[in-house]
Amino acid sequence: MCGIFLELSCEKCSIVNDIDVLRRLKNRGPDHLQRKDFISEIGHHIVFVASVLWMQGPQMTLQPLENECGILLYNGDIFDESWDSRTSDTQIIMEKLSYDCDSQIDKVINVLKSLKGPFSLIYYCKVTNKLYFTRDRFGRNSLLIHKNSNSLVLSSVLGTQYENYEVPVSHISVLDLNTHKILLYTWKATDIVQQCNLSDWLKTLQLKQSLSDEDFTVEANIPWDIDGLEDTVSFIESVAKKTKCNVTIMKTLSQHPEIQTTINKIIYLLNKSIQKRLKRQPNLCRNCLKITEINCSHSAVGVLFSGGLDCTILALLADKYVPKNQSIDLLNVAFNKENPTYDVPDRITGRKSLEELRRLCPLRKWTFKEINVPKEELEEFQINVIADLIYPRQTILDESLGSALWFAARGQDHHSVSNCRVLFSGTGADELFGGYTRHRAVFKRLGWAGLCKELQLDWERIPYRNLARDNRVICDHGRQPRMPYLDEEFAEFVIHLKPWLKCFPSKHLGHGLGDKLMLRLVAYNIGLMEVSTFPKRALQFGSRVANKNEKVNGGLVFLRAAFVLLEVGGLHICTE
């Protein structure tokens, strides 16, 4: 993962000199940091900054990348099997963007639309004086935009001192620096191009970002029909009524032809997704990378590991593709914010899942890192670090999830700090397979048609909710988050499944079975007998970074502002 930053000004650029911003960029890409100053033909001052976390290609590609056509800032991972894995994805993208140095917008747009994988990207075309910037269509990587009276800034991360917005994933944005008009291209094959003033567009971003999940609606575009409803649904219900034994239910359901075919396809696609994400990386831990050691036997790969269904499936399947001499880190976080012990639900579940992994993969060294965070340390880093990373998100939920992910990704237990450079995350599984409590409530009220629409809504709004925030938080530790459930091919298949082939939240299949039923059947069929029936538990509650009685309010930004005011006033601050 890299940190990318661009500042555009008619005068002297200033934010690029902010030490805090540069430090956050460096955290994202600890292997290299470089700056490029450029003055356009009409006098614009443009500063490009990139930090690099080397992941693809036989050697590191330094950024910003420049040729006679343009300048590229790229942060991401392209998992396109048609691309040469021996060449850096950054270099391939630059070659495609610069082909014949063509000045036609459509050709550049088509290159960006063809990219498969998580990315954010800024490309300045010298020929046309146009600035292209976008995030991938799922919104897996962060890109923020800030504008003041002097300059325009695009950056992976900024902080609370600069009012900023997340660049939306709905369009590829093209800013004409000659006219200050912005063109917005959709990801669809046939573009509906919008044009507006930059200031008007920023006002629209501000309005959209203030919407809550309840206010955010999208047009459902996945066709709904009831083909197969009577046969498959009746079969599942009949099995559930005959026995209360979860193992028997799993075994019997797996024998149904349509269900069995779906299970096998999901296992195949998930294996493929994981393999792609492990193939394109140096297979070196941090220490061995520094000394260019070829035969690394340490943990180059880790898993954000609550011990739940989603992450344990990833850990088990990753065992096939990680070199057998390397260990795999399982990062398990716990807080004692209100309880005197670190034996929180996710710690207990994590240990149980670890035993199942050891049973299934006895030759693998699994390093279970118990990351214990005391209340005082949590509060200190929430104010001084995490508030800046989650911003412009600022609710209690953002604070809780951001904190849990930041400490987990830090990978520091009482013995050592993890040296892995790639971190697997189960992000996306709940949205794809119906893992939230509200899915059961919707089904109870509105049946299969209502559940289908709710699942579509969950998928459509996932880029607007948490992916960019999580990216900023995890990457602050110089690790590359990789999310196999959000692979384009995998997600496309699951999205178009009938809802009863994703989850079955009826009264006949309770919690720990009906929610994410298909993923539970996958776990059962790959040998995770116990994990397959673990109940869904939200990260903030399972790790005990939050409790269910906390209310959403102004969150960390308000807290930090109050802290600063007291500090400036010279008052003694008591945090108790």
CA 22, chain centre distance (Å): 22
Structure-token match 């559930």, residue found:
240
First to last CA, the chain: 38
d(CA 283, CA 346): 28
d(CA 332, CA 409): 9
Structure tokens at 166: 């997340």
Instruction: Return the closest-CA partner of residue 516 out of 536, 498, 489.
Output: 536
**Cis bond upstream, residue 64 (ω within 30):** yes
Q: Are strands 480-482 and 422-424 parallel, antiparallel or unpaired?
A: parallel
d(CA 519, CA 524): 9
Structure tokens at 126: 């010298």
Concerning whether 2 is annotated as a catalytic residue, the answer is: yes
d(CA 355, CA 357): 5
Going along 241-317, which residue ranges are E strands?
301-304
d(CA 140, CA 350): 26
d(CA 53, CA 3): 8
Tell me the three state secondary structure of residue 65: strand
Torsion over CA: 260, 265, 266, 271 (sign)? positive
| DSSP code for 61 | P
Q: Which helix (H) or strand (E) holds 109?
A: helix 105-113
Q: Calculate ∠ Cα 229-234-235, nearest 5°.
A: 115
In the set 2, 311, 452, 475, the catalytic residue is 2
Interacting residues of 236 by C-beta distance below 8 A, sequence separation 6+: 253, 500, 504, 508, 509, 517
Q: Annotated active-site positions, please?
A: 2
